[in-house]
Structure formats: structure tokens, C-alpha cells
Amino acid sequence: MRSNVETTAHHTMLLIDEPMSRHTTWRVGGPARFYFQPADEADLSDFLKSLPASEPILWLGLGSNLLVRDGGFSGTVIAMRGRLDSIEVLTPNRLRVGAGASTAVVARHAARAGLCGAAFLAGIPGTMGGALAMNAGAFGSETWERVLNVQTIDRRGVIHRRTPLEYKVAYREVVTPREEWFIGCELQLEPGDTEAERQEVQRLLNKRNASQPIGQPSAGSTFRNPPGDYAARLIEECGLKGFQLGGARISEKHANFIINTGDARAADVEGLIQHIQRTVEKQTGVRLQPEVHVVGDPA
């Protein structure tokens, strides 16, 4: 059942039993009990205040890097796509970015403003909130290398300003000391040549398109790269390129991508992830760690 409970002029949206296959880049996933899109920061704050303290919350950006199981998510999804997505140049070398802003849009905006250092964000398929939550990276750079401060919100709807020193940041991992979620950040960039930076963004986008199965339903990189190696190389070495389970297949273009061939279920994707882990560990001794976040209940 898909029910539109509330829609206002401010585009607040609350849906019941909303299929997550509509909102994840893998195009799989059962229903979320509640699916909420805030109109703005104040609306988000009011909504969080109204939730029971025990309510499970899942924050959603573009739906990449996420596998929702076929049984769905028995809590509340807070969807940031197209919300809290402002991008603002604060000083000659500082950018304030809302958590809902697409990372590729941030890269292009910075380039247009003549700011260098954000081009790598063009290679990350997601929002700034997701990039902050997992220290997303591409082409040798990582999100938190550029973070000056972050804005967060807690369960009571209170907004905080935090510095990077308050977090434990590692490769594809950010440990938050308290239950708060990112709603924005300020990035430190460098003034530079606008045209050169725009060309760099385009070059990185072209590189991504050439090496990754863009246009097919996937979630980005499935596994973290192990120290000193590449997950894709290990998967390929084990002869797994093109291996298929149900409707989920390991991409022939990039072995660290799992694609939905059209009729995959979340169980197919999760089963394929586990098959890759077992096979690679058996043949190479390396236990690959998933980069994708798996949530929800089995069917």
C-alpha cells in the first residue's frame, strides 16, 4: 500500500509502506514503514521531535551504496534527495554545502566558482550527506580531507556544529561519538583556474563513465579496497567477472560493481556479495569488506 499521508505547499511528504526499490540505485528493496521528505531544516527538526525515541531511522540520499532487504525497513526513512541541497560560496575558498546536494553538482559548482580541490566528488555517486557519513572518496581523494566543520541534527531536532576533531575518520569510515546525522558541512578549497577545474571535473566524469557500468542499476563500488590492493583486481583474479546469481550479476566492465540485470531481488544481491567474499577468501586469503550498507529485514 502506498499512501500519501501529508503533502503541503512546502513539499513535506510522508508516505506509508513506500517500496524502497523506487529510491535505491540497485532498484531493489521492500517497503519502508514510513518514508519522510522534509521541506526544510525546521520541518526536519519538528519531525524528529515527533518520533518515538526508539524509532529506527534510515537516512537516504541518492540511494547509492545501500541495499535494503526484500522484507523492507520497519522504521522511518528520511529522504534528503532534493532537500537541504543548497551550495554557497562563503569566502574566496570556502563552500557551504547542504547534505542533500549531489556530490557531482558540488564538484561542478566549485569549478564554476573557480575553486579547486572538489573535482574528485564528481566520481562519487551520492549526496554530500552520504559522502560525509562514510568518508567517500574517488581518484585518490577523500571527503574529509576537505571538511572544515559539519552541521548535524540529533533525535530531539537540535542542530549542532562540529569539527573534524570530534570524529574518528578512516578509509570509508566515520565513527560518530553520538547519535547525530549530517545535514551540512563547510569545505576548504583553493582558488584556481575555473576552466582548468571544469575540464578536470569533466575528465574525471569521463574516466568514471569509461571504467564503470554507468547506466545500469548498481550501487557503486560493492567492496572496500583492501590495504595495498584493489577489490576489483581480486574479484577478477578469481574468475568471477560476469558471474550471476538470480537477477544480480558481477559487471564485466568493473568487477567491484554488482548490477541488477532487470529482475533482481535484494536477496540475489546479498547472496552474490557473500559468494564473492567466500570465493575471494578461499582463493586469496583476503576477506573483502562490503562498502555498501545493508539494512532491513529478509523477506
Hey, which residues are catalytic here?
A: 172, 221, 291
Q: Which residues pair with 13 in a beta bridge?
A: 7, 37
